[in-house]
Amino acid sequence: MKLIEKQHLFVRLLPKLLDFAVNLAEKNGWFVTEGDAFRDPRVHGEYGVKQSYSGANSNHKLRLAIDINLISDGVLLGAEAHEELGKFWKKLHPLCEWGGEPGRNDANHYSLNHNDSW
């Protein structure tokens, strides 16, 4: 799949993710806010280059990722709060990846897999 096709797919899936996140937050008395989405290469470096806090090969630079913040009483919630949302996201499409999966430590990160096959 070409990058542009993945970017289109990500935008197609994003409203579903956000809707689920808002409903999850409201059900639990939390707030949801947007974190980083696209990371501009002028600030974060081109894909493959580390220039900021962003990883060199971050999917944010490819318009294939968003960070979603779940907040309760002014506190940013951790992986446990994201579990249901992460499972929902992973079921939407085989390319969907969640930063809260075992071995990762980025629970508010939702992205599409990109393996340089484009």
Which positions lie near Zn ion, rule CB under 5 A? 65, 67, 109
DSSP state of 23: H
Cβ proximity to Zn ion, 63 vs 109, nearer residue: 109
Residue nearest to Zn ion (CB): 109
From CA 73, how far away is CA 29, in angstroms rounded? 9
What is the C-alpha separation between 113 and 97, in angstroms, rounded? 6
What is the four-CA torsion angle of 98, 16, 85, 74, rounded to 10 degrees?
110
Name the residue nearer to Zn ion (CB basis): 34 or 80: 34
The residue (of 26 and 51) whose beta carbon lies closer to Zn ion is 51
CB of 108 to Zn ion, least distance (A): 7
Q: Kindly state the smallest distance separating residue 106's Cβ from Zn ion, in Å.
A: 6
Which residue, 67 or 84, is less far from Zn ion as judged by CB? 67
DSSP symbol at 59: G
Identify the CA nearest to 68 among candidates 96, 101, 106. 106
